[in-house]
Chains A and B, each alone.
Chain A
Amino acid sequence: MTGLGRLPLPASAVRLWQARRRPRVRLGLRVGGLALVAGFASAPFWLGNSYDTDVFCDMALWAAIGLGLNVVIGFAGLLDLGYMAFYAFGGYTFATLSLHLGFSLWEALPLGTILAGVASAVFGFPTLRLRGDYLAIMTLGFGGIVDIAANNLSLTGGANGLYGMAPQSVFGYQLSTNNVIGYYVLALALVAVAALATYRFRHAKIGRAWACIKDDELAAAASGIRVTRCKLQAYVLGAIWAGVAGAIFAAKQGLVSPETFTFDQSFFAVAIVVLGGMGSIPGVILGAVLYILISEYFQGITGTYSGLIFSVLLLVTVLVRPRGLIPYTPGQRVRARARDGPPAGAGSAPDPLPLEDFRCAD
């Protein structure tokens, strides 16, 4: 309702918009929304086209990456511009172990994530004390070093990367790299785990500590939160998750190369989080879907419009809707109750007091 009154809309449209809060309408909208999401997520199964499946698989993997980065940026407020470096750790560890020692994905995965976690802890320990913008530039430098190392070490296969890993299987089901429907299911599971885990983390003690640090570091420290330790936990957690996603991505592609871990890729990961809404789980998933849709749809024309459109979209979002497309608004339910009256069976609650602007100043 806020803001809508200012638009020159016919009264019937406004009434229709306001009707969305009525319990039955709300239930209908939720069911409809869920059906839409389920229909979208299951699209590869009824489209049956291997190219589309690949696109959807990328979407799900980016959503998983975004959710991991969301912990770092959205929860703890640390701008990480070298996130894909940890993705590289996961991918290269799997590729190396698979090629040289014949490890399967599931045997290499723990090692890759441990490596990503250790690398992030070693790098994060001295750097996370710095203020936000310096941290951003240092993570950028770290990403750069990993990129150059991947391009020039013989262990990582240089600019060509590593390829020719054996096909993987999960619970006896063979995962094909031609039609990646199996990997799509795996990636969806990854998204589900990430969404659930980050949701739980947010409401745990550590999540509240992150929110506190993000709002005001000094106040957080004064209230007894060990700021650097909490930041390090967010950073390492994000890195570990990137390691998992990276290993699965490498298995799906059957290839790892430095191209996938450049600064551009790290920027897109940040953009997904900011576009969707920092801290917002559905927002980040939407951000990943939009990113892949835009890059797929506009790739056909010249290959550069996608970057242009995406950066404009990001800029407009930061300026016009700084909390993202689906903002995370803590305390929303409390406010909704204050506005709409008690939720249970109160279908015909009288129009509430003018509490439209009952929201925190941010």
Chain B
Amino acid sequence: MGTLAQQLVNGVVIGAVYGLIALGYTMVYGIVRLINFAQGGLYAAGAFIGLEVVEILQAHRVESPALLILAALAGAMIATGALAFLVERVAYRPLRRAPILSALVSSLAVLFLIENVIQLLTGAQPQTYPSLLGLQPWTLGPITLAPSGLLIVLVALGLMGAMQWFVQRTRTGRAMRAIAVNQEVAGLMGVDVRRVVALTFVMGGALGAAAGVLVGLNYGTITFNMGELAGLEGFTAAVLGGIGNVPGALVGGLVLGLLQSLITIVLPNQWNEAVVFAVLIAVLAFRPRGILGERVAERA
């Protein structure tokens, strides 16, 4: 019973991370219909930028953990957002009218480019994140929860709510939804398509960066290729919840996280990732619109 409850808690924490990465995919896919493979790379870049911010501030004798965490999150989100802007400008915008294959390959190339740059700058060894939130986890009966776990869930929920509000309630959000329905017509109605698409990529990158920093804080180590698997897990969460759907990202993330941590009770740990892949294939094959998705994935 104790392990079950513990696994549920772990599942919610990891699910929140998946949800954040999924949110980045969903924003981009919902609007330009492109699986942005570079999302995983942006997530890794965010984690490393956050670490860099923390190290620089610590070198300048900033001690307050709250300040450090805030600075790491803000710095990583801004810098990765800028990186995503650059990526959109260089690698996607010229391919907007090209076959989908070109854009997919281009985003894969960007993923590998980011990974290789990180590896060149920091080396292949895992990097250690400072534990800023204190080492004592809270215990409640048999369940333990690290403070960073709670932080992940809170930040994920906050960003998710902010996104939902942004997409549904602001003028730019309405422009995004219009572009999702029909890019050409939205343009004719006076929406600055290029600007809004660029903004979407920036937001996706910033969300990925937030997830990267939070994962670093929670698990303590980051590696240059952390984005490959996390990107796939995030994408699975997005598809599971219904890609293009903001609340769906959170639902998909939580379901996937819970499933993954509950499965460890039956299966050895190494098979964990196989579960993700199996869920991905099953969902795409049998229910491509996901749990909450309104839009049916177009069949050829």
* Interface of A toward B, CB cutoff 8 Å: 73, 77, 79, 81, 126-127, 129-134, 136-138, 140-142, 144-145, 148-149, 151-152, 217-218, 227, 263-264, 267, 270-271, 274, 278, 302, 304-305, 307-308, 310-312, 314-315, 318-319, 322
Q: What are the interface flags for B37-69 relative to A under an 8 Å C-beta threshold, 1 for contact and 0 otherwise?
A: 000000000000000000000000000000000
Give the number of residues in B that approach A within 8 Å (Cβ atoms).
47
Write out the residue numbers on chain B whose beta carbons fall within 8 Å of the beta carbon of A305.
Answer: 120
The 8 Å CB contact of A263, one of B100, B113, B119, B228, is: B228
Q: Are A152 and B270 in contact (CB under 8 A)?
A: yes
With a 10 A CB-CB cut-off, give which of A149, A310, A312, A322 has the most chain B CB atoms: A322
Could you tell me the distance in whole angstroms from the C-beta of B96 to the nearest C-beta in chain A?
A: 12
Known: A141-B277, A145-B278, A274-B105. 8 other contacts (CB 8 A): A79-B101, A130-B285, A144-B232, A144-B274, A217-B300, A304-B124, A318-B102, A319-B90
10 A-B interface contacts by CB (under 8 A): A73-B101, A130-B285, A133-B33, A142-B281, A144-B232, A145-B277, A148-B277, A278-B101, A318-B95, A318-B102
With a 10 A CB-CB cut-off, give which of B34, B108, B239, B278 has the most chain A CB atoms: B108
Write out the residue numbers on chain B whose beta carbons fall within 8 Å of the beta carbon of A137.
Answer: 35, 232, 235, 239, 280, 284
Write out the residue numbers on chain B whose beta carbons fall within 8 Å of the beta carbon of A126.
Answer: 285
Write out the residue numbers on chain A whose beta carbons fall within 8 Å of the beta carbon of B221.
Answer: none
Q: Are B104 and A129 in contact (CB under 8 A)?
A: no
Write out the residue numbers on chain B whose beta carbons fall within 8 Å of the beta carbon of A322.
Answer: 98, 102
Write out the residue numbers on chain B whose beta carbons fall within 8 Å of the beta carbon of A77.
Answer: 101
Q: What is the interface of chain A mostly: helix, strand, loop, or mixed?
A: helix
Write out the residue numbers on chain A whose beta carbons fall within 8 Å of the beta carbon of B274.
Answer: 144-145, 148-149
Given contacts A141-B281, A227-B300, contact A304 B120 (CB under 8 A): yes
Given contacts A217-B300, A270-B108, A315-B91, contact A148 B270 (CB under 8 A): yes
Write out the residue numbers on chain B whose beta carbons fall within 8 Å of the beta carbon of A149.
Answer: 274
Given contacts A148-B271, A151-B270, contact A314 B277 (CB under 8 A): no
* Interchain pairs with CB closer than 8 A, number: 131
Could you tell me the distance in whole angstroms from the C-beta of A226 to the nearest C-beta in chain B?
A: 13
Write out the residue numbers on chain A whose beta carbons fall within 8 Å of the beta carbon of B116.
Answer: 304, 307-308, 311
In angstroms, Cα B104 to Cα A136, docked, is 9
Write out the residue numbers on chain B whose beta carbons fall within 8 Å of the beta carbon of A315.
Answer: 90-91, 106, 109-110, 113
Q: What is the interface of chain B mostly: helix, strand, loop, or mixed?
A: helix
In angstroms, Cα B41 to Cα A267, docked, is 15
Write out the residue numbers on chain B whose beta carbons fall within 8 Å of the beta carbon of A133.
Answer: 33-35, 100, 104
In angstroms, Cα B108 to Cα A311, docked, is 9
Write out the residue numbers on chain B whose beta carbons fall within 8 Å of the beta carbon of A130.
Answer: 284-285, 288, 297, 299-300
Write out the residue numbers on chain B whose beta carbons fall within 8 Å of the beta carbon of A73.
Answer: 101
In angstroms, Cα B285 to Cα A142, docked, is 12
The 8 Å CB contact of A138, one of B101, B276, B285, is: B285
Q: Which residues 228-279 of B sit at the A interface, judged by CB distance below 8 A?
A: 228, 232, 235-236, 239, 268, 270-271, 273-274, 276-278
Write out the residue numbers on chain A whose beta carbons fall within 8 Å of the beta carbon of B190.
Answer: none
Closest chain A residue to B34, Cβ basis: A133
**B70 CB–A CB distance under 8 Å:** no
Q: Which residues 101-158 of B sit at the A interface, judged by CB distance below 8 A?
A: 101-102, 104-106, 108-110, 112-113, 115-117, 119-120, 124
In angstroms, Cα B98 to Cα A271, docked, is 17
Could you tell me the distance in whole angstroms from the C-beta of B112 to the nearest C-beta in chain A?
A: 4
Given contacts A138-B280, A319-B95, A322-B102, contact A267 B108 (CB under 8 A): yes
Write out the residue numbers on chain A whose beta carbons fall within 8 Å of the beta carbon of B2.
Answer: none
Q: Are B104 and A271 in contact (CB under 8 A)?
A: no
Q: Are B113 and A308 in contact (CB under 8 A)?
A: yes
In angstroms, Cα B235 to Cα A278, docked, is 27
In angstroms, Cα B178 to Cα A339, docked, is 47
Could you tell me the distance in whole angstroms from the C-beta of A284 to the nearest C-beta in chain B?
A: 14
Closest chain B residue to A273, Cβ basis: B105
